[in-house]
Amino acid sequence: MTRKKVKLAFILNDSARKATYKKRKKGLLKKVNELSTLCGIEACAIIYSPYEPQPEVWPSPMGVQRVLAKFMNMPELEQSKKMVNQESFLKQRILKAKEQVKKLRKDNREKEITQLMFQCLSAGNIPHNNLSMIDLNDLAWLIDQNLKDIGRRMETLEKQAQMTQSQSQMAAPPVAPPAPPLTLSGIVAKNEEVTLMDHGHGLEMSAETVPRQWFMNLMNGNGNETMASGQTNLQNGFWSNPLLP
Amino acid sequence: MSKKKSSLGRQKIPIEKIPKKSHLQVTFSKRRSGLFKKASELCTLCGVEIAIVVFSPADKAFSFGHPEVESIIDRYLSRNPPPECSAHQLVEAHRNANVRDLNMQLTQLLNHLEVEKKRGEELDHVRKARQRQFWWESPIDELGLHELLQLKVSIEDLKKNLGKHASKIMMEQSNMSSQIVAANGLGRFDAFETKPGAGMNIASTLPNNAYYLGFRHAYL
């Protein structure tokens, strides 16, 4: 394997070119062999070079004859369907590469805007003053996407909660009403760190059990900024949520 | 958070017929593509002429040839040396020039691809690091019900702020210029499809082709 990247152009240095030819020709024929063996298929290769008067062939002159005969016996259409030359092959590769780049750029852009959204959440407002309308628009789109996903996920969790609740009600003795599984989220505020150990068990909980500190931690995050308006809205939103008893 | 590997990576396999049919098919597809790529590179780097013919497990014929599959086959079977007339050479020269350009184009694209891949990895890395500090940056599937609630409320709040912010900007700019922003029919606009560098850190000037207003008007 090469240590440096080889430029995809004709090698001008004669000896370097010849050396490369020998190595790569060997490698190419090895690959044809492997393909043929691994997949149990017929194949042949013919190489004309300025270094040898006779073409180099694989698997053998007879093998080549056999494969070519089979190939030539096919209707013209079948032969040319998957036939490529340098130009068409490179064009195919270029097309594929373009698609890959486009997809990656889109994904990376989404990741960037997601980061922007998180930064806004941490800071409590939109901190950057040099965002273009395109940025803001993408941010708006991402916000809606997230709200959709969150909503869906919350539905799923609520359904699960209802199921386990009704199950435990059925299993319990008829006298005492069973307590629904109640898990408190462990909130550990280490310096400015917030870790929540309750994942995936979100269920009913009474408002009183949630410390106020939680809200402040959400909005403050790492920094010590206190966005008063953000906090108030958050608290209002929480307290007035129909999910709470 | 469990680390899931998307693939097994490169593994050494014995060179014998692959027992599982589906595996065999995938291998053929990949290796055939790689084989043609290597052949193409050999032609470009060393200026040689090649023809490769392979039959797929379904007996379809795949062939690669430089300059052409058919001319190489004819040359081989008839043992005739290639024609050397000037017209032929002109065609060859023209074709080689094309190939040169295509190779350059491909190289450039592959470089762009590498750049974007690295960027993606860095962005992932940053987010993973931040997840340890900010619980709301974790994937939605990992959050509990009350966390989701918190997050939902915060995001809705942000959405309101965003709307106000955007309106403010649009008002400022319509005061500055008397241009009427028309939603020009640029047709489909998918979110995040911008050219690189067109996003962050650019002063908020209202672009002339405000295509987003047509398609995504609902958002702002």
Q: Mind listing the pLDDT tens digit of every residue in chain B (220 residues)?
A: 455 666 777 888 888 898 898 999 999 999 999 999 999 999 999 999 999 999 999 999 999 999 999 999 999 998 877 767 888 888 888 999 999 999 999 999 999 999 999 999 999 999 999 988 888 888 888 888 888 898 999 899 989 888 888 888 778 777 776 555 444 444 344 566 655 444 443 333 444 333 333 334 444 4
Interface of B with A in 6-65 (CB under 8 A): 13, 15-18, 24, 27-28, 31-32, 34-57, 60-65
d(CA B127, CA B137): 7
Residue in chain B closest to A231 (alpha carbons) equals B154
Predicted TM-score (pTM) of the model is: 0.69
CB contact under 8 A, B147 and A196: yes
Residue in chain B closest to A38 (alpha carbons) equals B17
Q: Is the ipTM of this complex over 0.85?
A: no
Give the pLDDT of residue B200. Answer: 47
Residue in chain A closest to B121 (alpha carbons) equals A108
Of residues B10, B45, B114, B117, the one with CA closest to residue A24: B45
CB contact under 8 A, A38 and B190: no
Name A56's bridge partners.
Answer: A47
Distance between A175 CA and the closest CA of chain B, angstroms = 30
Q: Cβ–Cβ contacts within 10 Å for residue B166, how many?
A: 20
Of A215 and B50, the structure prediction assigns the larger pLDDT to B50
d(CA B53, CA A67): 8
With contacts defined as CB-CB under 8 Å, which chain A residues touch B150?
A: 214-215, 218, 234, 238
Of B35, B109, B123, the CB nearest to A111: B123
Q: How would you classify the pairing of strands A52-58 and B49-55?
A: unpaired
Contacts of B20 (CB under 8 A, 6+ apart): none
